Amino acid sequence: MQGTLLEYLRQYKPSKKPPKPPVKQSPSEEGVILYLSDLLQPEKGDKAGVCVVCGRETKHGHSIPFSEKFTNWPQLQAGEVICEHCYPLVKNQDFRRHSWVLSKEGVRFLKRDEVLDVLLNPPEPPFGIYVTKTRKKQGFLRLVTRTNYSRSRYFIAFDDELIFVDRAVLKEMVEVGRKALELGFTKTELLSGPKIAHRVYSDIVKKIEEFRGNPLWEVVVYAL
């Protein structure tokens, strides 16, 4: 009996091979964009090191081009170069001088009256949105590692400030701001507090007081 069983086991061949364990793919292989600058066409250089913008190692980086007047040093990471992906952001001064939205469709530079429409209707992820009123800063550097994958809850940069956006809250802010302007409120009142003459509009005043101090409200008022 034992010999018969051993002989059977030697001759036994399974009809199917056991499945191989799945090969774990890296985020880039899965098509996930972790760094906003990867949505731009890279510009290869010949410097090796760690990128001061995104923190990745590269063999195709560029020398750091910032001058003594550069004020965003606290936003940079330890490193020696700017990688080929982040370099277009720094090289092209339009990214500093204009508000913009960046997605797989490319970059779109925005006028002030286009900002709220983009905030209320952001593109399909991944995307990033930068809003500037000074046109002098490079606060968009904060966005490189903050790629958005939600259209209802996402981050934007407003000059040097990183701001979280809840689209439902944003929609209410826009409605209140537009109604207040129609009633004769000034933008200064929306940010600093309504005049006594306007306090008869108690519901609007209550909402303005609720929103004041919220950095997203400042973006809304700027873009109205």
pLDDT given at position 121: 97
pLDDT at 33: 84
Domain membership of residue 104 as a residue range: 36-159
pLDDT recorded at residue 11: 57
Residue 75 lies in a domain: yes
| Domain match, 44 and 85 both | yes
The reply to whether 183 and 155 lie within a common domain is: no
Q: Which secondary-structure segment (H or E) carries 165?
A: strand 161-166
- 146 and 180 within one domain: no
pLDDT the model gives residue 7: 57
Domain boundary among 139, 159, 179: 159
Whole-angstrom Cα distance, residue 115 to residue 118? 5
Q: What is the pLDDT of residue 30?
A: 57
Q: Do 105 and 140 sit in the same domain of this protein? A: yes
Phi, psi dihedral angles at 95 (to 5 degrees): -65, -25
Walk along the chain (224 residues) and give the pLDDT tens digit of each residue. Answer: 445 544 544 554 545 544 444 433 334 445 678 899 999 999 999 999 999 999 999 999 999 887 777 777 777 888 899 999 999 999 999 999 999 999 999 999 999 999 999 999 999 999 999 999 988 888 888 899 999 999 999 999 999 899 999 999 999 999 999 999 999 999 999 999 888 878 888 899 999 999 998 999 999 999 99
Q: What's the domain count of the chain? A: 2
Residue 8 domain flag = no
Given 133, 159, 185, the domain boundary residue is: 159
2 alpha-carbon distance from chain centroid = 69
Indicate left, alpha or beta for 147 from its phi (over 0: left) and psi (-120 to 50: alpha). beta
> Where among 159, 182, 210 does a domain terminate?
159
pLDDT of residue 32: 79
Please give the pLDDT value at position 139.
Answer: 82
Do residues 108 and 101 touch, judged by C-beta distance below 8 A?
Answer: yes
If residue 153 lies in a helix (H) or strand (E), which one and from where to where?
Answer: strand 153-158
